[in-house]
Amino acid sequence: MTAAHPLLEADRVLVDYPVKGWRRPPFRALKGISLTVGAGETVGLVGESGSGKTTLGRAILGLAPVTGGEIRFEGRTISGLGKRERRALSKDIQVVFQDPYTSLNPAMSVGDILTEPLLVDGISRAEAERRVRSLLDEVHLPADAARRLPREFSGGQRQRVAIARALSRDPRLIVCDEPVSALDLSTQSRVLDLLIEIQELTGVAYLFVTHDLSVVRHISHRVAVMYRGEIVEEGDAATVTSEPAHPYTRRLLLAAPVPDPARQAGRRAERHRFLAAQAAPDH
Ligand SMILES: Nc1ncnc2c1ncn2[C@@H]1O[C@H](COP(=O)(O)OP(=O)(O)OP(=O)(O)O)[C@@H](O)[C@H]1O
């Protein structure tokens, strides 16, 4: 059975930021965005700086003011939730930020960083420690990483810790906000491959925010292109990134490096098979 609702639906979402100054009108950062993310799917959100990508991610996380339209998760409206309901939702919707240097508490060991959300859920310490070992294994970090502090790791390793933390409560959706932009190119592709591997294992969905079309092409099933607070083009990742319809997407594409097409085609075919399997009838 295909799910009755997409995992996530943004429905004509408006976000207005207040502007300081007497009688100055608010700044409309999102101008009626509609977008869906299915279970197990990766939707790349691409656009230049200031187009509103982060604002949409933040609106989904309840961190930006949704002033019109609504956001639904599994059919339930989640824009405008109170603090307590939002906290409960954080089990299902997690985030990985751009900067692995500031997103982890420098005073806490990696083990504590990963254990904390589990203890909040009421899981016993022994069970949480078992879960931490399996999370470290999932992100290909050694078990002794649990005893070390974030500063003892490279940028790529820290981002693996941030991914493990996001995964710790088995979320259905992770908002990835430029998670590889601070990393060098070879580390970027290893972290992207890790995210793909995790999705294949767990069926988690990603809303993947980036300004980089080559990154989005590597990881996404579908791509939405944002320009000045609107989605100007949306479709299958292969089509949008190789035959863009909108002049703005063509401009973005011209600025992106060309990847290995054979590898990309293989990856895409593999991922579409996975999605088709996800949509197969339940028993
Ligand atoms: N808290 C805020 N208050 C007022 N304006 C904001 C706020 N956050 C973002 N904006 C404005 O909203 C617009 C969209 O910003 P946003 O950060 O969502 O864009 P982006 O596409 O993610 O850009 P970047 O890639 O640089 O992060 C920009 O014009 C920005 O200046």
Residue 130 in domain: no
Torsion of CA 192, 147, 153, 94, to 10 degrees: 40
Residue 137 in domain: no
> Of 155, 149, 157, which Cα lies nearest the Cα of 111?
149
Separation between Cα atoms, residue 167 and residue 157, nearest integer Å: 15
* Ligand 1, atom 29: closest residue by C-alpha: 50
Count of Cβ atoms closer than 10 Å to residue 189 Cβ? 17
What is the mean pLDDT of each successive set of 10 residues along the chain, which is 283 residues long? 80 95 92 97 94 96 95 96 91 90 89 92 91 94 94 92 93 95 88 94 96 89 96 94 88 67 54 52 41
Of 33, 55, 56, 60, the residue with max ligand 1 atoms within 8 A of its CB, to mutate for a pocket test, comes to: 55
Dist. CA 54 → ligand 1 center (Å): 7
Separation between Cα atoms, residue 155 and residue 160, nearest integer Å: 9
* Ligand 1, atom 9: closest residue by C-alpha: 55
* 55 Cβ below 6 A of ligand 1: yes
* 235 Cβ below 6 A of ligand 1: no
Domain carrying residue 238: 1-92+209-283
* 38 Cβ below 6 A of ligand 1: no
Structural domains in the chain (count)? 1
pTM of the model: 0.88
Residue 181 in domain: no
Instruction: Give residue 57's pLDDT.
Output: 96
Residue 258 in domain: yes
How crowded is the C-beta side of 198, counted as CA atoms within 13 Å? 29
Whichever domain contains 41, its CATH number is 3.40.50.300
* Ligand 1, atom 5: closest residue by C-alpha: 17
Name the maximum alpha-carbon separation found in the chain: 61
Instruction: Give residue 23's pLDDT.
Output: 86
Residue 242 in domain: yes
> Of 68, 73, 54, which Cα lies nearest the Cα of 6?
73
Complex-level ipTM: 0.96
* Ligand 1, atom 11: closest residue by C-alpha: 29
Instruction: Give residue 121's pLDDT.
Output: 85
Residue 98 in domain: no
Residue 202 in domain: no
